[in-house]
Amino acid sequence: MSLIPYFAYAKKSFLGRSAYRFDHLMGIFSTCLQVFIYWNIYRALYGQRTEVDGITMAMVTTNFILSLGLREAFYTDDGYLSRKIRDGSIATELLHPISFKGRMLAENLGNALFNLIFRFAPAVLISVCIVGIQPPADAESVALFMVSAVLGYGVLWAISFACQMTAFWLMNTWSLFTVKNVFVGILSGSMIPLWFMPEWMGGVLKATPFSSIYFTPVQIYLGQLSLKEIGARCAVQLLWAAGIFLLGDFLWRRGQKKLVVQGG
């Protein structure tokens, strides 16, 4: 199957985002503001101490700068399928000679690439200038961080994809995605680093897909994992992304059989 149509959809999404410049400026400002707020909260909690249980303030700062930055870059359009079902256009979409799922991914990747260049990079750069960041362990850690970040996006997109498939049964998916975003925000380590979780809870969270989204790439950046551990964590990320996608694909096939178009 030719990939040209999917590149076209990704390009269209990328270029379409450039029309909303003020929105991007506000996105950068919002990310920097969150970094500044988190930095002041943790600085107050640390007080005069330089580290707590071996976790330095620099490590915490690095975690929320990278996590919040990646969260800005990791674009997922959670309402994509539900909008198509509500307006009835899903019926036409299913007749196109390309994969609807492939189109969903392509458009998300186009938006994610735009956010990576015009939101993630500026937000991280500004945050680093304001509060500083711990440098990476080495050049190899930066390369492996990027690989893990891509896999982390795969996990996040797969979760969004599987949740979107419930639109075939639910009239309104807003509440489901609200719960999903809360889980991702808290359990991924972006808001509260998993280092501070109780040992038993940390073990449980590492067994969920959420820690694979942001926390694993951050640990790799900081050089906290050996090459063997990095390989194992990346394999876990890949397995979660594939497993959750297969669940979503199962729901997709089942959902098409009971599709009821509301509009059109």
pLDDT at residue number 248:
95
Q: What angle do CA 29, 108, 176 make, to 5 degrees?
A: 85
Q: Which two tokens stand for residue 191?
A: 């808001």
pLDDT at residue number 85:
86
Regions in the chain scoring below 70 on pLDDT: 1, 259-264
For residue 132, give every residue at least 6 positions away whose Cβ sits within 8 Å of its Cβ, in sequence order, or none.
58, 61
pLDDT at residue number 91:
80
The candidate with the shortest Cα–Cα distance to 71, out of 171, 218, 169, is 218
CA pair distance 90, 87, nearest whole angstrom = 8
Q: With beta carbons less than 8 A apart as the criterion, state whether 148 and 68 touch.
A: no
pLDDT at residue number 72:
85
DSSP 199-233: HHHHHHHHTSSGGGTTHHHHHHHTT-S-HHHHHHH
pLDDT at residue number 20:
75
